[in-house]
Structure 1
Amino acid sequence: MSDPKGYQSSLSHELLEKAKKELNEDPSKTEQKLHDLRQMFKKRPDIKFRTDDTFLLRYLRVRKFNVERAYKTLVHYYEVRDQFKELYADYTPSDVVQQLKDQIHWILRSRDKDGRRVFIVRPGNWDLEKYSITPCLKTAMMLMELICEEEETQINGVVVIADYSGMSMKHVKQLNPIVVRKLADTIQNALPLRLKAIHYVNQPKIFDIIFGLFKPFFSEKMLKRLHFHGDEYGTLHEHIPSSILPAEYGGALQNMTNQEWADKLFSQEDAIIENNKYGFPKSSEVLGAQKQGEDAAGGLVGSFKKLDI
């Protein structure tokens, strides 16, 4: 499937059938859905929207091709980026080099039995002596946005393994409830991410305190997708096969690192900087556009460099 803007589907026949069944995707109607979504942007001339097909399709998919819901999610994406300033300032891979080196986040090379990406977060690797929680969260968001680029992931979704080994009260004290709320809101309501499950492993004695911070901000649907395994990896393997897991979780993979995905992220530095130009224009940009007689919400249509991974 292709269109004048250059989109070409990478989906297999099986994935197209799954998208039709689960996401209401109909290739014969995709062009019209994209048109309808772009038309809704006129409601918010204060927002500089990305309008390329590859970007907008992931929002249609995450909202099962309901144009109104896709539009609201996309608007919220830009609202979050504008309001969550401590996270989205200096939002580039070059700003999180240390966090990537500390292996706080892993993305497995292989998908699970349902074709879902497996994203591992290990907050215990966060070095409190070197940096705050903000760059840790920034790293997670950039990696999640990167995997959202994959069409197969848009259809099949993502599962998270949250490994709390090494977490201490010093870490917990840095978890500001306001930041936790913003993070939960971003993941559930602003990213084009089908989060299918969260698997908690190696929970410490203080886990009840940690979970108590997050639980109020989980949706009812998300609460039903939580699994608690402790250090009994056999139950984890019932959901995610040991053949694709690192040895740390009773799996077959030895010497696991995040280098491959760190390299992918670094290769997209320019593209991420370009994406940061969208959303709510800075006051200087608005004034400049007005002086030139341009629409402050336009001017960048189709200029985004595609993230090919």
Structure 2
Amino acid sequence: MKDSCEKQLTEFREKLSTQNRTKNLNLDDKLLLRFLRSRDGDVSESMSTLLAYIDIIDKRSDLFSWSEDIKKVVNSGVYVQYPERTSDGCVVSLVTPSKWNPSDYSYSIYIKLVIFMIEMSLLDEEVQKNGFIVVIDMSGIRWTHIYHTGVSDAKLFSDLTERILPRKLVSLHFVNANKLQDAGLMLFRPFMTSSTKKIMHFHGKDYSTLHSFVSPNLLPESLGGSAKDYPTSMYNQLLEKHKEEVMQIWDQFRKIKN
């Protein structure tokens, strides 16, 4: 395994040296391994992801920066990443879109929070290796949520979370959907990768099927689980603790000339 990683790193560095945007970058092995792990060691895919990552940081620097309004998203409870991991070492993210009030913050601010949370989790090498499980509770979604998301932000979010950020998505689960919530999903579906569509699971209101993928101790009571209800202040403290470390990674890629 070690020899394989070294071979992949060597090949990755060789590819970096042939690109104008990356040949002068002094990226350490830890950061390169993050991209390799996210694409299961495929050097070409890792390179494509890295180049897309550089591009988006340049084009949307507003999303790759800290702002205090990120905490509004945390406080709303719309996006949670539990500290506990699955038996396979995966991070479990719970998304509850109905907790978003569009008059409190924009969907772009939500995207910023998701980026920060993912990047913060990826500081842990075990998370890089084992990946993320995402559970989306569709109950309570209204037309206002769909309207204030829009097609362009739906595409941006899908691109970021599936193609650009160096994370490994293990599985994606939808619960409590009805026809209106299905319309919300249709906003994103055209932009989803084929690999993401293969790992999507729909559970309706049958939480027992969800529990076959995610242990109930990692799910809230509303989904038949017994996960500890952590205060939002804990998540805000974690973000404050790691925000400089995350931004230092992004700063390496700013103002790279083509």
Name the TM-score, length of structure 1 as normaliser.
0.75
The C-alpha deviation readout for 1:11-70, integer Å capped at 9, x for no partner, is xxxxxxxxxxxxxxx213434432432332233334574601211111112223232322
**Alignment match, 2:63:** 87
How big is the shift at 1:108?
A: 1.7
How big is the shift at 1:204?
A: 4.3
Q: Percent identity?
A: 26
The C-alpha deviation readout for 1:178-209, integer Å capped at 9, x for no partner, is 22112111211112211011111222441121
SS of the residue aligned with 1:127? coil
**Alignment match, 2:241:** 267
**Alignment match, 2:129:** 155
CA contact (8 A) 1:116 1:156 kept: yes
Q: 1:227 to 1:66 in 2, by over 3 A?
A: closer
CA distance in 1, matches of 2:102, 2:165: 27
Q: 1:231 to 1:29 in 2, by over 3 A?
A: closer
**Alignment match, 1:292:** none
- Amino acid of the residue matched to residue 197 of structure 2? L
**Alignment match, 1:36:** 11
CA contact (8 A) 1:86 1:134 kept: no
1:193 correspondence with 2:167: yes
**Alignment match, 1:74:** 50
Give the gaps of 5 or more residues in structure 2.
none
The C-alpha deviation readout for 1:231-267, integer Å capped at 9, x for no partner, is 3222211211112222121112353444433322211
How big is the shift at 1:113?
A: 3.3
How big is the shift at 1:97?
A: 1.6
**Alignment match, 1:304:** none
Matches within 5 A, 1:141-220: 141-220=115-194
Q: 1:137 aligns with which of 103, 111, 123?
A: 111
**Alignment match, 2:89:** 115
CA distance in 2, matches of 1:41, 1:268: 28
How big is the shift at 1:160?
A: 0.2
**Alignment match, 1:52:** 28
How big is the shift at 1:213?
A: 1.0
SS of the residue aligned with 1:279? coil
- Amino acid of the residue matched to residue 249 of structure 1? L
- Amino acid of the residue matched to residue 11 of structure 2? D
SS of the residue aligned with 2:149? coil
Structure with more of its chain in helix, by fraction: 2
**Alignment match, 1:226:** 200
The C-alpha deviation readout for 1:55-114, integer Å capped at 9, x for no partner, is 1111112223232322221111111222345533xx216341211111221112222233
**Alignment match, 2:39:** 63
Name the TM-score, length of structure 2 as normaliser.
0.89
CA contact (8 A) 2:107 2:153 kept: no
CA distance in 2, matches of 1:183, 1:101: 21
SS of the residue aligned with 1:227? strand
The C-alpha deviation readout for 1:102-157, integer Å capped at 9, x for no partner, is 12211122222332110111221112122211101110111011212222222221
CA distance in 1, matches of 2:131, 2:115: 16
CA distance in 2, matches of 1:93, 1:117: 24
CA contact (8 A) 2:39 2:168 kept: no
CA distance in 1, matches of 2:59, 2:49: 15
